[in-house]
Structure 1
Amino acid sequence: MLDLLAKKIEQADVYYKKLISNPKRQYEESRIDLMVRGVTSAQLFLWFGQRMKDLTTPERKQGLFLNPIVPAHLEHYALPPYSAGIVKTIGARIAGVRIQADVEIPEFVLEYGDPTYKQLPAVENLGDGSVLFYILQELKDSEDGCLFKLRLLSPAAVPQTLFDEHAEHSAVESRSFITAAFESDEKSSDGMREG
């Protein structure tokens, strides 16, 4: 699949690099707010943590890709050669992106956040390390589950359609992951009741 998409990824990289080359580095925010019922923030963290804890072998990476990443969105195509990332559609272009949660996030990104939420910042890079988007996920418990905010900070030069399509893509995959976490918790609870 990577061989089939290589030319499209190269073309997308050229396009995205033009957008992010603005020396002013001004960013705009896209935000998705979800109210999650039946799953706490701790359960979501546990679910994500269990899937991300050991991606050192190709078999484990492939397992994560096939379930839950492929079912989360129709526009997830392949795993890139680096450890954490995805080949997906962003604004009508097929991009290979690296997602890094273990890097220093600029203060201006964190300033968008709500201090009453637990913050999970990350960076979405192109294959060469160029920052395409900053990601700021936020979670806090509510009376019957949790509240989830997903902020995407994009360079101001990004066309509105790309901005909107990426936000929509993120909303779809976030809902899919939350649903999978809920169903996983339901199965665990059923197993504990039976045992």
Structure 2
Amino acid sequence: MKIAERDIDAEVVIVGAGPTGLTLANLLGGMGVSVALIERNLTTVQEPRAVSIDDESMRTMQAIGLDGAIEAIVARGYGSRYLSPGGDLFLTVEPTSCDYGFDKRNAFQQPNLEALLREGLSQFPNVVQLFGWDMQAFSQDQTSASVDIVHETQGTRTVHARYMVACDGGRSPT
């Protein structure tokens, strides 16, 4: 991966470093793919948003080598009660099994999960973390994408990649 004063070249640029973007960066980093991970915030979130990880996602964490660390921060095998806006119970979920090595539902605090996922990235020199950089615009053609990013104190840069993945949430401009 080339990191110049103004431009960054990578195979994949990921916009957004929440649980999805951080997980993807770990997966690709472990496969040797060069990644530029862009996050407008200076750190991972400090307030919980996502609160549950299921057995399928735990197998993904196993694939990136973080299952042991993540199991240490989850409440394993918990249930949930879902209420309507009026407060009426409409669904109760109670996990009944632990198939294929992981509990069906596990509770966590998002700041703890994101911190572990970000720490996991430190083992990959092929992943550049660009926290504090905000995507301003992007363009794409049949073979590549370019993302213009800006930092409050470091100016602007352009990230060039073969692929761009938007992991920056439901209100994503990408």
Tell me the TM-score normalized by structure 1: 0.21
Return the index of the structure with the highest Cα Rg.
2
Tell me the TM-score normalized by structure 2: 0.23
Q: Which has the higher contact order (CA 8 A, sep 6+)?
A: 2
Which structure is higher in helix share?
1
